Amino acid sequence: MNAIHSEQVTDHLTRVVTVKLEPGARYVVDNLLIGAGDTIAVGMRSIELKVTRSRKQGDSTIEQTVVETHSLPAMRYASPKALRYLVQAGQELEPGEVSILEYEVEDSFLNRVEKTIRRMTKHSSSLHVMGAIPDGKLQKAIAHYANSVDPDRVCFLFDDTVFGSAKDGFLITDSGFYYNNGARRLALRFREIDTIRVEPAAVKTGEKAADRSQLIVTNSDGEITVGDDWPGVPLADFESLLNLVIHAREIGQTKEVDGYVIVEDMPEPVRAAYLGLLVWLTYHNDGQIDERELSELQVLMTQLDCGPELRHQIRSYISAPSNLDPATLVKEMFAQTPSGSELALAGSLIKDAVRMVRSISKESALEQPGLRQLASLLNIDDQQIAFIEDACIQDEKIMAGELSDSQIMTTAKVMAAKASAVGVPIAAVYLSGSVTGLSAAGVTSGLASLGLGGILGFSSMVSGIGVALILGVGIYKGVRWLAGGKERDKASRRELMLQEVLRIHQKAISNLAEDVAFFGRRMVDLTTDVEKNKLLIGKLSRELSMFADAITRLRSKETGLESELKTELEKRAA
């Protein structure tokens, strides 16, 4: 067996395999079974030991030697590589915990900081790592001191409570460090750290200055001070952690956000490319954009709070859709997307692509070549497309009042499980609002009017569970508003949804009217020389007609929504 060597291996990425040898026997290394650079996995044989045990038989001592093979224990790493054995053939080992093999894990943010975080925690059983964090603890910690965090982004959770409530302690994502313990609370964004330093702390009379220190973190907002008396945060280890974080940031392992930035709060170039891709899709499917597709685009632009300049840019896309290149638009979109939001934004875009397809056809999204091409550019696979389409269908049923409260709750649980299985954040389906016309920001203000606004810490970075809840298709433990309750509460929810959709449609009609006026002014300009501008006038006339038809379609939907809302109000009054 060749020796295993390693060169310039980062210590933070190395791990050690140990074996536990029981007392009462003699252990000698017989064979080393893993080669240099081998990828190691659970159950792989790592070492053979000659184990000699003695027993008395009368006046004699009988020795019996057998060969024991030790296999690798369970590990969460994707592709760990063997580096070197820490023992050698023929070596006798003492009973107890023995380190036998050093290996290297893949370079990621989580793996890079793991060893330092384990040193920080006094009780290893209280530290939980991504993939094995108890859901109850995770939800309580997020609700108590990190309510803008997406649960799927939590790398570590340290529960520093006696009875396991997880309300005190810390959680770490690849974007930030969140801490709570009594009167002390900290939310530290990794991308905002400028410098860190440790210095002597001010002390009370009678204390020795040398015995106290503090860590100072500077960022654009000033200074953050962490004292050496913060439970669960040993100062030396915390300084090491932040130095590691700064290095991880330099090599691109940290993200800007660890929650969800709703699409309407994304930079304008992101929204322009997002909507441009949907214009490309609607044109690609059948070589035209009709009033049905235009009305859906207009409602979506209203949900995304597009101002006149952005709407003008989208009109230019609609006027020349054949010039759009989806690969270029995807690149432009992700160039300014806050890092950490890419997957959610891709899922949201496919949801709106499904929405556009379903505005003219109820055929499966998987049967649409343009949608499949777009999904491929976004690295969204068929299973994920099918899940997103199913979420859209359920959303339509909820808005139509086809599902009872119990059915909504059951559906929400099933959808959450499916989302996890296919690797799509459930919130991604609602990042731009719902396919039925609910805007994310509008519904949060509606919930606030019902006295629920502060319960999830709503902001532009809404937690995944928060987005699902506010759109009426998710669950949040402890909130009864969605879980049944009084008939009055049920009516309030239905009214809230109808009022928000109606508001969006009314604003979309107003925006379309502005667009029609724009075309009217352009037409007047062109008619000063009809012969010269004949082709442009013809093109503009067709566009004007399409926009006018879209207004008619939206006004018809507005009338229907008003009728539904009136019926809902009458039910509540009865």
* 419 and 524 co-located in one domain: no
Among residues 104, 136, 164, the one where a domain terminates is 104
Q: How confident is the model at residue 229 (pLDDT cuts 50, 70, 90)?
A: confident
Pairwise pLDDT comparison (372 vs 556), residue with the higher score = 372
156 has pLDDT over 80? yes
Q: Which DSSP category does 390 fall into?
A: H
The type of residue at 390 is D
Asked if residue 255 belongs to a domain, the reply is no
**Angstrom distances, CA of residue 56 to CA of 51, 53, 95, 277:** 17, 10, 21, 82
Q: What gap in Å lies between CA 45 and CA 2, rounded to an integer?
A: 16
Nearest to 272 by CA among 321, 325, 317: 317
Q: What are 32's strand-pairing partners?
A: 47
Asked if residue 275 belongs to a domain, the reply is yes
Segment 557-566 long-range contacts (CB within 8 Å, at least 24 positions apart): 557/295, 557/505, 558/502, 558/505, 558/506, 558/509, 561/498, 561/501, 561/502, 561/505, 562/502, 564/498, 565/495, 565/498, 565/499, 565/502
477 has pLDDT over 50? no
* 480 and 531 co-located in one domain: no
Asked if residue 328 belongs to a domain, the reply is yes
459 has pLDDT over 60? no
Inter-residue contact 13 to 105 (CB < 8 Å)? yes
Q: What is the pLDDT of residue 564?
A: 73
Inter-residue contact 131 to 50 (CB < 8 Å)? no
Pairwise pLDDT comparison (249 vs 519), residue with the higher score = 249
> What residues contact 464, with CB distance under 8 A and at least 6 apart?
150, 151, 152, 259, 260, 425, 426, 427
Segment 97-119 shows an average pLDDT of 94
Exposure pattern of 61-72 as b/e (b: 16+ CB <10 Å)? eeeeeeeeebeb
Among residues 250, 282, 297, the one where a domain terminates is 250
Q: What is the pLDDT of residue 128?
A: 95
Q: How confident is the model at residue 216 (pLDDT cuts 50, 70, 90)?
A: very high
Pairwise pLDDT comparison (467 vs 557), residue with the higher score = 557
- How many distinct structural domains can be found in the chain? 4
Q: What gap in Å lies between CA 399 and CA 550, rounded to an integer?
A: 22
Residue 89 in 3-state DSSP?
Answer: coil
Q: What gap in Å lies between CA 453 and CA 242, rounded to an integer?
A: 34
Asked if residue 170 belongs to a domain, the reply is yes
Longest dimension (CA), the chain: 123
Q: Which DSSP category does 466 fall into?
A: H
Residue range of the domain that includes 227: 109-250
Pairwise pLDDT comparison (454 vs 205), residue with the higher score = 205
Q: What gap in Å lies between CA 341 and CA 337, rounded to an integer?
A: 7
* 355 and 445 co-located in one domain: yes
Q: How confident is the model at residue 294 (pLDDT cuts 50, 70, 90)?
A: confident
* 267 and 322 co-located in one domain: yes
Q: What gap in Å lies between CA 97 and CA 83, rounded to an integer?
A: 20
Pairwise pLDDT comparison (10 vs 365), residue with the higher score = 365
Q: What is the pLDDT of residue 476?
A: 31
Residue 414 in 3-state DSSP?
Answer: helix
Inter-residue contact 237 to 226 (CB < 8 Å)? no
Segment 330-348 shows an average pLDDT of 92
Q: What gap in Å lies between CA 288 and CA 451, rounded to an integer?
A: 46
Inter-residue contact 416 to 476 (CB < 8 Å)? no
Asked if residue 181 belongs to a domain, the reply is yes
Q: What is the pLDDT of residue 277?
A: 97
Evaluated on CA atoms 344, 251, 220, 306, the torsion sign reads: negative
Q: What is the pLDDT of residue 468?
A: 39
Asked if residue 436 belongs to a domain, the reply is yes
Instruction: Average the pLDDT over each of 101-110, 333-342, 353-362 and give the range with the smallest value.
Output: 353-362
Q: How confident is the model at residue 23 (pLDDT cuts 50, 70, 90)?
A: very high
Residue 363 in 3-state DSSP?
Answer: coil
- Residue whose entry in the numeric block shows the structure tokens 């590589």: 81
Q: What gap in Å lies between CA 516 and CA 540, rounded to an integer?
A: 11
* 162 and 243 co-located in one domain: yes
Inter-residue contact 337 to 348 (CB < 8 Å)? no
316 has pLDDT over 60? yes
* 98 and 122 co-located in one domain: no
Asked if residue 1 belongs to a domain, the reply is no
For the ranges 31-40, 431-440, 462-471, the maximum mean pLDDT occurs at 31-40
341 has pLDDT over 80? yes
Q: What is the pLDDT of residue 565?
A: 73
547 C-beta neighbours (distance < 10 Å), count: 21
Nearest to 428 by CA among 439, 419, 418: 419
263 has pLDDT over 70? yes
Q: How confident is the model at residue 452 (pLDDT cuts 50, 70, 90)?
A: very low
Pairwise pLDDT comparison (490 vs 198), residue with the higher score = 198
Give Cα 278 distance to the centre of its chain. 23
Q: Is 220 exposed, middle or buried (0-12, 13-18, 19+ CB in 10 A)?
A: exposed
Mean pLDDT of the chain: 80
For the residues of 138-197, what is the DSSP string, one character each? HHHHHHHH-TTS-GGGEEEEEE--SSS--SSEEEEESSEEEEEETTEEEEEEGGG--EEE
211 C-beta neighbours (distance < 10 Å), count: 10
Q: What gap in Å lies between CA 346 and CA 326, rounded to an integer?
A: 13
Q: What is the pLDDT of residue 423?
A: 86
Q: What is the pLDDT of residue 276?
A: 96
* 419 and 449 co-located in one domain: yes
Nearest to 29 by CA among 74, 94, 80: 94
* 239 and 278 co-located in one domain: no
Among residues 83, 104, 125, the one where a domain terminates is 104
Question: What is the token pair recorded at 200?
Answer: 């002597």
Asked if residue 551 belongs to a domain, the reply is yes
Nearest to 511 by CA among 225, 272, 301: 301
204 has pLDDT over 80? no
29 has pLDDT over 90? yes
* 237 and 133 co-located in one domain: yes
Exposure pattern of 493-526 as b/e (b: 16+ CB <10 Å)? bbbbbbbbbbbbbbbbbebbeebbebbeebbeeb
Question: What is the token pair recorded at 439?
Answer: 């805007």
* 264 and 239 co-located in one domain: no
For the ranges 137-141, 442-446, 569-573, the maximum mean pLDDT occurs at 137-141
Q: How confident is the model at residue 451 (pLDDT cuts 50, 70, 90)?
A: very low
* 171 and 198 co-located in one domain: yes
Q: What is the CATH number of the domain that holds 193?
A: 2.30.29
Q: What are 156's strand-pairing partners?
A: 129, 172
Segment 1-25 shows an average pLDDT of 71
150 has pLDDT over 50? yes
* 416 and 532 co-located in one domain: no
Segment 325-347 shows an average pLDDT of 93
